[in-house]
């Protein structure tokens, strides 16, 4: 009983904190800042694992649909057939996959969206349970270097497009060139007050003088 009460209390605190952009106990992908171009950071991320799903559209509705689908996976919509040796007493424990930030959104070639939840670092492709929903897949995300621009407030299609253009404009006069499609990262739930939201637009980059086989 005390454990349930304590767990409920933590959920309340985290929920209230989310309103003002406080992300208690939320693991974020590790990165190293390699360079700065004004407000743009050049970050190096290591390999990660993500759960992802493709949804129709590219706005808030698409993000919400993908979010609900992926939340279903991490909140128990998965199956694991792990064999546990018989001991005394027999203990049963449900593995819960923690929510991580950011939620990633990018477009497919047909204008739709791919939504991703990055998994906590303790999980791997071998240890993650298989999703029940056939529309949710687990993918390995390789280590990459990103140019990242952070912003707050509005995260509509128009706002994301404007910030993406600002990011790409900054790169045009720099030593880095885009190598891949831009992506939007959202760190806070929809109920976070706009000025406290952490949003980012990012694009994979390589150094402009990087030749074949050169490190990015």
Dump pLDDT digits (tens) for 81-101: 322 222 222 212 234 566 666
Rounded-to-integer distance, Cα 27 and Cα 49, Å: 13
101, 28 contact by CB (below 8 A)? yes
**DSSP assigned state of 63:** H
pLDDT digits 0-9 by tens, 160-212: 889 999 999 999 989 999 998 888 888 887 778 888 888 889 999 999 775 44
Question: CATH number for the 49-79+95-140 domain, one of 1.10.10.10, 3.40.440.10, 3.20.80.10, 3.40.50.740?
Answer: 3.20.80.10
DSSP three-state, residue 187: coil
How many other C-beta atoms can be found within 10 angstroms of the C-beta atom of residue 92? 5
Cβ within 8 Å of residue 192, ≥6 positions away: 18, 19, 20, 21
The DSSP annotation for 101-123 comes to S-EEEEE-TTS-EEEEEEPPTT-
215, 200 contact by CB (below 8 A)? no
Whether the pLDDT of residue 5 is over 80: the answer is no
Domain boundary assignment for the chain? 26-46+143-208, 49-79+95-140
Q: What global pTM score does this model have?
A: 0.70
96, 25 contact by CB (below 8 A)? no
Rounded-to-integer distance, Cα 209 and Cα 66, Å: 38
Question: Measured between alpha carbons, how far is residue 124 from residues 54, 75, 139 in Å?
Answer: 21, 17, 10
* Local confidence band at 29 (pLDDT 50, 70, 90 cut-offs): confident
Rounded-to-integer distance, Cα 144 and Cα 133, Å: 28
Confidence (pLDDT) at 16: 40
pLDDT digits 0-9 by tens, 96-115: 566 666 677 676 655 678 88
33 or 82: whose pLDDT is higher? 33
Question: Measured between alpha carbons, how far is residue 190 from residues 82, 98, 122, 183, 198 in Å?
Answer: 36, 18, 27, 18, 11
Distance between start and end Cα atoms, the chain: 52
Confidence (pLDDT) at 110: 59
pLDDT digits 0-9 by tens, 34-90: 999 999 999 999 998 888 888 887 667 777 888 888 888 888 888 763 222 222 222
């Amino acid at each position: 009983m005390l454990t349930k009460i304590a767990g409920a209390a933590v959920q309340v605190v985290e929920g209230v904190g989310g309103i003002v952009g406080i992300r208690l106990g939320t693991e974020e992908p590790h990165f190293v800042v390699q360079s700065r171009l004004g407000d743009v950071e050049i970050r190096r991320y290591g390999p990660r694992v993500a759960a992802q799903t493709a949804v129709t559209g590219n706005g808030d509705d698409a993000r919400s649909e993908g979010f609900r689908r992926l939340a279903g996976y991490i909140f128990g919509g998965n199956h694991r057939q792990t064999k546990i040796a018989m001991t005394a007493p027999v203990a049963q424990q449900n593995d819960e996959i923690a929510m991580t930030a950011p939620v990633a959104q990018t477009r497919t070639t047909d204008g739709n969206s791919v939504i991703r939840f990055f998994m906590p670092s303790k999980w791997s492709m071998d240890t993650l349970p298989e999703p029940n929903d056939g529309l949710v897949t687990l993918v390995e995300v390789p280590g990459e270097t990103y140019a990242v621009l952070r912003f707050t407030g509005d995260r509509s299609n128009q706002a994301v497009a404007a910030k993406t253009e600002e990011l790409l404009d900054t790169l045009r006069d720099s030593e880095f060139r885009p190598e891949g499609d831009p992506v939007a990262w959202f760190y806070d739930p929809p109920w976070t007050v706009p000025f406290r939201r952490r949003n980012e637009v990012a694009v994979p980059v390589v150094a402009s003088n990087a030749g074949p086989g050169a490190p990015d």
